[in-house]
Structure 1
Amino acid sequence: MTGFILASGSAIRRQILTGAGVRFDTESPGVDEDALKEEMMLSPPGEVALALAQAKALAVSARHPQALVLGADQVLAMNGKVFDKAKDDREARERLVSLRGRTHTLEGGLAAARGGNLVWTHRSTATLTVRDFSDVFLDFYMERAGGELTASVGAYAYEGLGAQIFDAVEGDYYAILGLPLLPVLDLLRREGVVMT
């Protein structure tokens, strides 16, 4: 076990940390996300993302009190509505159609815990405008995207084929992927996980 644990099952978050040369372990937090979202249904999306990240970090930290644990979450918000990941390809197609020609935000929350206590939090917001793509493109994308359709809240992978969906994007690239890297690296330096 390293001194740093990512409390997330996200493949892209693991990829980001690995690409930055960070040594870490992963552990599923086992948090009932649906129950927490239900409790916070009237809260702003950014607060929901942060609360989920905190719950994940604290859950894993309780099991590994010596390690620094990072929890992360991201929610998609559009016109006051918060979206979850699509459950299947049909729902992913509906999500993409609902986003077509419109602007949405990705609200991200990060939280770090050690010894069962929160030691750091961070919030991010990215604004993305989806182009008014054709049904022909949508069919092409649905056929090629595969697991991307249900792996991310927007049914797209911005780091891959999903980039073709957008007209404009404002925000940190890594925040869009779900793990704002520079603030995380700053945290890891301060906590002695990576070199200063």
Structure 2
Amino acid sequence: MSSEDFPAAVPIPVLATQPVVLASGSQTRLSLLRGAGLEVVAHRPGVDEEEVKLSCKAGGLTVEETAEALAELKASRVAAKVPAAYVIGADQMLECEGRWFDKPEDRAGAAEQLRALSGRTHRLVTTAVLFHNNSRVWHQTDQAKLTMRTLSDDFIERYLDAAGDAVLTSVGGYQLEALGAQLFTRVAGDHFTILGLPLLPLLGFLRVRGVLPS
């Protein structure tokens, strides 16, 4: 098979006037930002998210306050290394009837989360924080509400078989843009918020700052 049998890679168009830094290892957030025309460099912030969440919950913080605290911590950690850059930190939390959910550790954990969310409405709370010159210059918190249909144990097993390890990469054990669409009867909220980033408000602020053309 020759190289002519493969389509040429299509370059991602860049509209930004300068690179931005994403303080995250999330491929979804990286793809969203690059797809929107930003030149992005990703750096993992090295934050123990579980420890921060436990501390925030023990201190009586809300889901929104905890998501913001995590996003700010991620951004500030990376911004200390590249203070001149615009650094984006983000976090997403899932809350259902007072319970906070994290990414499942294994298939059994994913099945347990799906059973807990089955037939109920839960919230996805997403926050982004932007640092520049070692200062927080912007933040946004949005939420979406998702109603999951009642799932049989048989369906959960079939879904987990089909989705594979992808269920371990997302809180709640689903990706709405993929097989996770099979789980829901109603979704209310911004598409980008559900994917983990309040993208449109972020792009608006970057235009104000001249990082994107207006």
Question: What is the TM-score with the length of structure 2 in the denominator?
Answer: 0.88
Match of 1:12 in 2: 28
Unpaired segments of 5 or more residues in structure 2? Answer: 1-17
Q: Return structure 1 stretches of 4+ with deviation > 4 angstroms.
A: none
- Please state if 1:46 is matched with 2:64: yes
User: How many residues are aligned here?
Assistant: 195
- Tell me which amino acid in the other structure corresponds to 1:32: D
- Tell me which amino acid in the other structure corresponds to 1:31: V
Q: Distance in 2 between matches of 1:35 and 1:94?
A: 22
- Please state if 1:145 is matched with 2:178: no
- Structure 1 residues 32-82: Cα deviation after superposition (integer angstroms, max 9, x where no partner): 222221221021101111110000011100000010000000010011111
Match of 1:130 in 2: 148
- Structure 1 residues 159-195: Cα deviation after superposition (integer angstroms, max 9, x where no partner): 1110110011110011001012111111221222221
Q: Distance in 1 between matches of 2:103 and 2:210?
A: 34
Unpaired segments of 5 or more residues in structure 1? Answer: none
Given that residues 131 and 166 in structure 1 are in contact (C-alpha distance below 8 angstroms), is that contact kept between their aligned partners in structure 2? yes
Match of 1:59 in 2: 77
- Structure 1 residues 134-176: Cα deviation after superposition (integer angstroms, max 9, x where no partner): 2232122101112321111111000111011001111001100
Q: Percent of aligned pairs with the same residue?
A: 44
Alignment of 1:173-192 (within 5 A): 173-192=191-210
Given that residues 51 and 109 in structure 1 are in contact (C-alpha distance below 8 angstroms), is that contact kept between their aligned partners in structure 2? no
Say which SS state the counterpart of residue 96 (structure 1) adopts: helix
Given that residues 119 and 151 in structure 2 are in contact (C-alpha distance below 8 angstroms), is that contact kept between their aligned partners in structure 1? yes
- Structure 1 residues 77-114: Cα deviation after superposition (integer angstroms, max 9, x where no partner): 01111111111111011101111111110111110001
Given that residues 3 and 66 in structure 1 are in contact (C-alpha distance below 8 angstroms), is that contact kept between their aligned partners in structure 2? no
Q: Which has the higher Rg, Structure 1 or Structure 2?
A: 2
Match of 2:103 in 1: 85
